[in-house]
C-alpha cells in the first residue's frame, strides 16, 4: 500500500467507505491488531536489508534458501527471455505454455502421482479445490487450526462444514459418524503453519478409509522439509498413495510462487473443469514455472541442503529447550507463545533492536490469547545466526512467566 504524501489534497471519494475504514482501523488499533507493511530492500535470505539495516531473517518460509538462488534465477531468466513476462490469459484460453506442462510433469514425477495440476498460489488452490469437489448436500471436516485458505475453501464450497478440535481423531470419527451427507471430505494441513506440529496422518488415512471419506492434505510447510526426497509428510510416512489430494506450494521451500495438487487423473481433470481460480485467473508467468522446475531438481537432488536445514532445526530446538521454552524438532516452524498481542509486539521489537527480524503473529492468524513470535528456520542460516537468536531470546524478559 502506498500513501501519497499529498493525500490530504486529493479527492477522498464519497467518503462513506473512508468513514467505515477509519472506524474499523481505530478498533483494530485499540486491540493491538492493526497491521502495517515493511519493505525489504534486498532479496530473501538469511540476512535481509530493512530500513537500511541488515537483520537476520527468521520470518521467511524460504526454508531451503532457494528464493535468491543463482540456479533458480538462471532458469527464470531463460524462460523470461523466451516467453516474456505475462501469459496474457488463463491456461484454458491461451495462457498455457510448455513451461507449465513441463513443471506439472516434473512435479508428478517428484510426487509419484498420476497427475498434477498447477494453481497460481496456495490460497487459490485451496479456495478452488474444495468447492470443486464438494457442495450442498456434502460435508467437509476441517481441523480447527487449518490455514485460512482451507477455511475459506470450506466456506465457499456450500458444503456443511464441521470443524473438529485440532488433531483430535476421535472427535473427527464421531463427527464422521454423526453427520449425514452425500460425500464426506476430510481436510487438514500436514504441518500446521503457526505451530509447526504434524497432523495425525496415519490415523486420518485409516479413519477416512473406514468411513469412505476422501482425504485432502495441505503440505505447504512440509514440502522440501520432510520426507526422504523432500516430498512432505505423506512421503515421510509412506502414505502418499493413500491420500486423495496432496496440495503443495511453490512459494515456500521451492523459493518461488505458485502451488499444485498431486492427485489422480480424473480429479485433476475435474479441477481443470471446475476450480474457479484455475479457470478464471491469468496463469502463472512461465519464468516462475521454469524456476520451480529447477527448484524441484534441487529439492530432490540436494540432500545435504535439507540436512543443513535439519541441523539448524535440531540446534534451535535444543537451544529453546535449554532456555525453558517447550520446543520439538518437527518442522522449520517454532512458535514462542506470549499471549496478548501487545506482548508479542514488544517481543518482536526487542528482537528487532538486537538484529533479528521475527514478526509478531496475532489474531485472527492465531487464536485469541496465543499471540506469538513465529521463528522460521532456513538451510541458509548459519550456526552463528541460530545462536544469535537464542541469545536474544535468553534476554527476552518475562516470556516464560
How far apart CA 56 and CA 384 sit, in angstroms, is: 10
Question: 87, 113, 188, 249: which one contacts ligand PMP (CB under 6 A)?
Answer: 249
Tell me if 189 contacts ligand PMP by CB under 6 A.
yes
254 binds ligand PMP (CB under 6 A): no
Distance of CA 179 to the CA centre of its chain: 30
Buried b (16+ CB within 10 A) or exposed e, 75-105: bbebbbeebeeebeebbeeebbbebbebbbe
Kindly state whether residue 193 participates in binding ligand PMP, applying the rule CB under 6 A: yes
220 belongs to the binding site for ligand PMP (CB under 6 A): yes
Please identify, using beta-carbon distances, which residue of 122 and 341 lies nearer to ligand PMP: 122
220 vs 380 by CB, closer to ligand PMP? 220
- On the 0-12 / 13-18 / 19+ scale of CB atoms within 10 A, 379 is buried
Identify whether 364 is preceded by a cis peptide bond (ω within 30 of 0).
yes
Report the catalytic residues.
Answer: 193, 221, 252
107 lines the binding site for ligand PMP (CB under 6 A): no
Question: Residue from 91, 100, 106, 147 that binds ligand PMP (CB under 6 A)?
Answer: 147
User: What is the per-residue binding string for ligand PMP in 316-335, x denoting contact by CB under 6 A?
Assistant: --------------------
Ranges within 340-379 binding ligand PMP (CB under 6 A)? none
What is the distance between the terminal CA atoms of the chain, rounded to a whole angstrom? 37
d(CA 168, CA 204): 10
CB within 8 A of 240, min separation 6: which ones? 111, 112, 113, 231, 234, 246, 262
Cβ closest to ligand PMP, residue 319 vs residue 335: 335
Taking the complex as a whole, the smallest distance from the CB of residue 305 to ligand PMP amounts, in Å, to 21
Sign of the CA dihedral with 45 first, then 340, 197, and 203 last:
negative
Q: Smaller CB distance to ligand PMP: residue 113 or 126?
A: 126
Dihedral, 58, 62, 67, 70 alpha carbons, nearest 10 = 90
Q: How far is the CB of 35 from ligand PMP (least distance, A)?
A: 15
Nearer Cβ to ligand PMP (247/392)? 247
Pairing of strands 245-249, 214-218: parallel
Q: Quick check: 259 binds ligand PMP (CB under 6 A)?
A: yes
* 123 near ligand PMP, judged by CB under 6 A: yes
Residue 217 host element (H or E): strand 214-218
* Closer residue to ligand PMP, CB minimum distance, 104 or 189: 189
# residues near ligand PMP by CB under 6 A? 14
Binding to ligand PMP in span 124-143, by CB under 6 A: 126
Closest-by-Cβ residue to ligand PMP is 122
Its sign, for the CA torsion 135, 141, 144, 147, is negative
Does the protein bind ligand PMP through residue 121 (CB under 6 A)? yes
Residues in contact with ligand PMP by CB under 6 A are 121-123, 126, 147, 149, 189, 193, 218, 220-221, 249, 251, 259
Amino acid at each position: 500500500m502506498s500513501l501519497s504524501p499529498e493525500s490530504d489534497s486529493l479527492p477522498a471519494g464519497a467518503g462513506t467507505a473512508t468513514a467505515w475504514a477509519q472506524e474499523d482501523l481505530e478498533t483494530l488499533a485499540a486491540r493491538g491488531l492493526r497491521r502495517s507493511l515493511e519493505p525489504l530492500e534486498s532479496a530473501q535470505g538469511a540476512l535481509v536489508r530493512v530500513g537500511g539495516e541488515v537483520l537476520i531473517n527468521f520470518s521467511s518460509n524460504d526454508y531451503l534458501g532457494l528464493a535468491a538462488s543463482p540456479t533458480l534465477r538462471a532458469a527464470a531468466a531463460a524462460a523470461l527471455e523466451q516467453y516474456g513476462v505475462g501469459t496474457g490469459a488463463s491456461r484454458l484460453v491461451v495462457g498455457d505454455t510448455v513451461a507449465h506442462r513441463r513443471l506439472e510433469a516434473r512435479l508428478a514425477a517428484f510426487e509419484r502421482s498420476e497427475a498434477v495440476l498447477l494453481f497460481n498460489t496456495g490460497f487459490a488452490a485451496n479456495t478452488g479445490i474444495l468447492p470443486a469437489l464438494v457442495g450442498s448436500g456434502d460435508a467437509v471436516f476441517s481441523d480447527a487450526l487449518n490455514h485460512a485458505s482451507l477455511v475459506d475453501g470450506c466456506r465457499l464450497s456450500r458444503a456443511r462444514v464441521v470443524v473438529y478440535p485440532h488433531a483430535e481423531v476421535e472427535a473427527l470419527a464421531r463427527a464422521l459418524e454423526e453427520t449425514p451427507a452425500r460425500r464426506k471430505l476430510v481436510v487438514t494441513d500436514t504441518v500446521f503453519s503457526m505451530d509447526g506440529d504434524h497432523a495425525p496422518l496415519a490415523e486420518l488415512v485409516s479413519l477416512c478409509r473406514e468411513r469412505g471419506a476422501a482425504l485432502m492434505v495441505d503440505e505447504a510447510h512440509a514440502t522440501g522439509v520432510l520426507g526422504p526426497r523432500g516430498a512432505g509428510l505423506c512421503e515421510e510416512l509412506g502414505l502418499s498413495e493413500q491420500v486423495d489430494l496432496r496440495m503443495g506450494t511453490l512459494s515456500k521451500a521451492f523459493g518461488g510462487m505458485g502451488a499444485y495438487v498431486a492427485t489422480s487423473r480424473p480429479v485433476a481433470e475435474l479441477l481443470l473443469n471446475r476450480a474457479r481460480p484455475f479457470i478464471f485467473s491469468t496463469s502463472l508467468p512461465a519464468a516462475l514455472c521454469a524456476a520451480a522446475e529447477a527448484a524441484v531438481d534441487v529439492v530432490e537432488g540436494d540432500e545435504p541442503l535439507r540436512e543443513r536445514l535439519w541441523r539448524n532445526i535440531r540446534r534451535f530446538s535444543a537451544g529453546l529447550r535449554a532456555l525453558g521454552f517447550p520446543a520439538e524438532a518437527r518442522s522449520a516452524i517454532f512458535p514462542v507463545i506470549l499471549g496478548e498481542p501487545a506482548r508479542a509486539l514488544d517481543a518482536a521489537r526487542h528482537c528487532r533492536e538486537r538484529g533479528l527480524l521475527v514478526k509478531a503473529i496475532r489474531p485472527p492468524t492465531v487464536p485469541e490469547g496465543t499471540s506469538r513470535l513465529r521463528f522460521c528456520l532456513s538451510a541458509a542460516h548459519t550456526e552463528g545466526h541460530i545462536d544469535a537468536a537464542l541469545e536474544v531470546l535468553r534476554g527476552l524478559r518475562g516470556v516464560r512467566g
